[in-house]
Amino acid sequence: MTEPVIQVSGASKEFDDGQAALREVSLTVAPGEAVAVLGPSGSGKSTLLNLVAGLDRPSRGTVTVAGIRVDTLNEAGAARFRRQKIGMVFQFFNLLDDLTVLDNVVLPAELTGTSRSVARRRAGELLDTLGIAKHARAYPGRLSGGERQRVAVARALMNRPALLLADEPTGALDSASGAEVEGLLNELHQEGQTIVLVTHDLALAEACATRTVRIVDGRIASDTLNSAAMTPSAAPAASKSTAVAR
Residues at the interface with other proteins (CB under 8 A): 50, 53, 55-56, 75-76, 79-80, 82-84, 88, 90, 94-100, 103, 107-108, 110-113, 139, 141, 155, 159
Smaller CB separation from other proteins, 159 or 186? 159
Q: How far is the CB of 114 from other proteins (least distance, A)?
A: 10
Smaller CB separation from other proteins, 9 or 94? 94
Beta-strand pair 6-14/60-65 = antiparallel
Q: How far is the CB of 127 from other proteins (least distance, A)?
A: 16
On the CB side of 12, CA atoms within 13 Å amount to 8
Q: How far is the CB of 210 from other proteins (least distance, A)?
A: 25
Q: Are 203 and 225 in contact (CB under 8 A)?
A: no
Smaller CB separation from other proteins, 99 or 235? 99
Q: How far is the CB of 79 from other proteins (least distance, A)?
A: 4
Tell me the C-alpha to C-alpha distance, in Å, between residue 95 and each of 42, 84, 103, 126, 165.
Answer: 25, 19, 10, 16, 16
Could you tell me the sign of the dihedral formed by the alpha carbons of 37, 147, 99, 114, in that order?
A: positive
Smaller CB separation from other proteins, 52 or 181? 52
Q: Are 154 and 142 in contact (CB under 8 A)?
A: no
